[in-house]
Amino acid sequence: MKNLIERANTKLSVGWAASLLSVSFLMSALLGLLRDRLLFANFPDAVTDAYFTAFRIPDFMFVLLVSGALSVTFIPVFAQRHGSGQKESAWQIGSSMINLLAIATFFLSLLMLIFAPTLINLSGAGLDPEAKETAASLMRIIAVNPFLFSISSILSSMQQAVGRFFFNSLAPIIYNVGIIFGILVLAPALGTDGESNILGVALGVALGSIIQLLVQLLGMFGLGFHYQPRIHWKNKGFRKVLSLFPPRSFDQGIDYFITIFENNLTTLFFAVGATTSYQAALTLRNVPITIIGVAISTAAFPLLSKRADSPRTDLFRKDLSELLRVVLWLGIGAVVVTFFMRGYLVRMLKADGDAAAASLLGWFTLSILMRALFQVVSRAFYAKHDTKTPLMVSVAALGMNIVLALALIRIIGLNGIAAAQSVVALFEVAALLAIIRTRYGHLFGQRDLVQMVKMLVAGVVAGMVNYWFVRIALPLQANDIGFFSLAPKFALIVSVTLLAYAVVSYLLKITEAKPVIRSIIRFVYRPVGFRK
């Protein structure tokens, strides 16, 4: 067992780390889809509306204080100390962050436990009284998440800083397994009434949070971490992390505040079930963003930070440009599949379909590409220890999103929420790229722009292939309800579409397609004994 843990904790290169995280996020996403499918199948819309609303404030607290902020403020400072041999200082920084955030989130969790009924009015003002009561009960259980996640996130960040990703990659998988266990085992044990046994799902959430923390502890094995039960206020590295922390935290908080705002819109202006439809579309939208944007940017951030600290700004621009092109190429393929197969995707979640969710997902598709790119672009600023610029752009985006959403829901109904997000995501990426160009010079030359145009051409061809399958060859039928009925058709269409995209990209000599084609060739030829 000890040898297996040591091997799992081996330092990985950026390429291997990105691959591992992508596979992990894909598995987690698939489990997340299974989780939501089971949830929708076992509970009515009124109950799932309350369930999703119960997460908004606890998740907001976690995002505001911990999520994302650690990866771009803590990791560079910790990695610099650890990499330069100042390990005692690194351990002091890690211990201080664990203690500070554990204390802060403990009291926040306690407040959520006490004031849950009041807080529900902030995230689901339009829910009926019975749904609010259910949501408050759920929040009291879910309130433990920020505390547990704050500790596990710091442990995860320390592992990422030294190139360890295996146990970090298991954590989101374990979390979803816990929730599925809650749906299948704990909920039925509490009875048959939807509004009471939904509490079993919340207990599964808490269980998943506890187990994923234990998994993160395995990732610390052999690292030599020396935990100290105190806060080292005099440590310069710790103070530097704290100075960088607020702008990034507020930036993350603004992003999630939009989710709370939109959740309120769904409960105030639309019928029961609108919140569930919105969440279903949001879940499907976030899958490719996580697999592509988050995985690649997370794996590349330590290297990007080193480039940023170097006087060679040309190397920093080169690495950033390459990352953006890779994400763009992968993102275009994801957008094509998501847009044309939105009916299939929603049916995978909700057996009887959901026209509102499918329509929302269609309007969300531009934001898939933009949010994936945003993951990389924003980290370019964080690598330069600049957390204020993305914050200012996010503040502007917040105002734009609120105004657009309120205006567009009057014109195109519920779809206005997704349309506003897509427009604002485009604005954020464009604004940050413009600022990078002003400060550090051009990221893309004429050759890069030609490559991007070729990517769009390949995307159009892939879209035509997908459209032919979805509309003519294998259209979605009314009896395509079960997973086993949908999965073969879905897998075939997606495989052919992505293969067409890769082949056209290869023929157009798009650089990013070459390693993918080589991998496909190796996969196909090796099993049948062909040799080069």
pLDDT tier at 530, thresholds 50, 70, 90? very low
pLDDT at 349: 86
Q: Convert the pLDDT of each residue in 497-525 to its tens digit.
A: 999 999 999 999 998 887 767 766 665 55
Three-state DSSP at 125 gives: coil
Between 21 and 145, the higher pLDDT residue:
145
Mean residue pLDDT of the chain comes to: 88
pLDDT at 492: 95
Model pTM score: 0.86
Q: How far apart are CA 175 and CA 180, in angstroms?
A: 9
Q: Convert the pLDDT of each residue in 15-72 to its tens digit.
A: 677 677 778 878 888 898 889 989 998 999 999 999 999 999 999 988 887 765 666 6
Between 88 and 304, the higher pLDDT residue:
88
Q: Is 444 left (phi over 0), alpha (psi -120 to 50) or beta?
A: beta
Which residues, in sequence order, are CB contacts of 186 under 8 Å at separation 6+?
A: 200, 201, 203, 204, 207
Q: Convert the pLDDT of each residue in 336-390 to its tens digit.
A: 999 999 999 999 888 888 999 999 999 999 999 999 999 999 989 988 888 789 8
Angle at 94 between CA 91 and CA 98, to 5 degrees: 135
Angle at 377 between CA 376 and CA 382, to 5 degrees: 90
pLDDT higher than 70, residue 255: yes
User: What is the residue extent of each domain of the chain?
Assistant: 1-246
pLDDT higher than 50, residue 233: yes
Q: Convert the pLDDT of each residue in 154-207 to its tens digit.
A: 998 888 888 787 888 888 899 999 999 999 999 999 876 656 699 999 999 999
Three-state SS letters, 45-86: HHHHHHHHHHHHHHHHHHHHHCCCHHHHHHHHHHHHHHHCCC
Q: How far apart are CA 294 and CA 25, in angstroms?
A: 9
Q: How far apart are CA 238 and CA 100, in angstroms?
A: 11
Residue type for 216, please? Q
pLDDT tier at 532, thresholds 50, 70, 90? very low
Three-state DSSP at 167 gives: helix
